[in-house]
Amino acid sequence: MKKYAIAIHGGAGTLSRTLMDSNKEQMYRQGLEQAIQSGIRILENEGTALDAVEAAVAALEDNPLFNAGRGSVFTHKGEHEMDACIMSGIDLAAGAVCGVRQIKNPIKLARCVMEKSEHVLLAASGAEVFAQVHQIETMPEAYFHDALRYEQWQQIKNSTQTALDHNLPSEKKFGTVGAVALDVTGNLAAATSTGGMTNKQFGRVGDTPIPGCGTYANNHTCAVSCTGHGEYFIKATAAYDVSALMEYKIISLQDAAELVIHQKLMSIGGEGGMIAIDKFGNICMPFNSEGMYRASYSPEEGLRCAIY
């Protein structure tokens, strides 16, 4: 049987067991499992890694539990500005959008940029015009209004403070979502999507839509999707660094990813995690925060889902 595998994440941070009741935990686990099943169905029917990561991320975008798509946090203006990126390991093709509003599934728009334009990254109103041209589905502002996200914003909206998926004062969660996959033809792909920081201003953009920082895929090495304090992942070019360590230092995926997360990022104050898969189907999901919503699947190891 030809090998295939997939992993997804729904954000990392200070996910305390004491703040997570059993019902809430079950809802997150169900959300992760439903999303990864969207990708598994494609891969087991010999579909492409690109289709699998897009489907998994779109499912997470549709779930208001996660800070992407429908569950995106509020900006300082009380709006929603979303970022997304998708990348193919075959030829390093990539598409990304940042600061887009009212796009139901930003990851689908990112793929459209990759396949139907000569560009990699489109921003804000320009990306929205491109979405209209290509009939990408939009939704009214009310669709993105989640009561929990609104309450998070209310707590800090009158300040210049930003919060990483701010929840309770003692809880910190980086609410990016992402997926990486290997298909039966040996191709890798990665996809990442986020609503960014609560109360963000000035058109702030994190690592998610920047290939090599929050998202990367290369058939010669690996596919990576990151979640965390985006500024640090940008400084470290974290996703590409995993690939570079594998290619130039000739070390394993596990060693490369852990070096980036536990040494390079932490040395500059960076917090978060990543999911990564190599060309052999090996998966690793390191994080230096208290927890990370994550799930993985391969026919050999079955479905695994974890939070802490």
Average pLDDT over residues 38-47: 98
Residues of the chain with pLDDT > 90, as a percent, come to: 78
Q: Which of 126-135, 146-155, 253-262 has the lowest mean pLDDT?
A: 146-155
Q: What would the 3-class secondary structure string for 141-193 be?
A: HHHHCCHHHHHHHHHHCCCCCCECCCCCCCCEEECCEEEEEECCCCCEEEEEE
Q: What is the pLDDT of residues 158-191, one digit of tens each?
A: 655 555 553 334 455 567 999 999 999 999 999 9
Closest by CA to 83, choosing from 207, 209, 173, is: 209
Closest by CA to 4, choosing from 285, 216, 299, is: 299
pTM exceeds cut of 0.85: yes
pLDDT score of 182? 98
- Please give the structure tokens belonging to residue 113: 């940029």
| Nearest-angstrom CA–CA distance, 218 and 211 | 11
Q: pLDDT-based confidence at 79, cuts 50/70/90?
A: confident
pLDDT score of 173? 55
pLDDT score of 170? 42
Q: What is the pLDDT of residues 84-96, one digit of tens each?
A: 999 999 999 999 9
The active-site residue out of 48, 75, 176, 208 is 176
Indicate if 198 belongs to the active site.
no
- Looking at every residue in the chain, the average pLDDT score rounds to 91
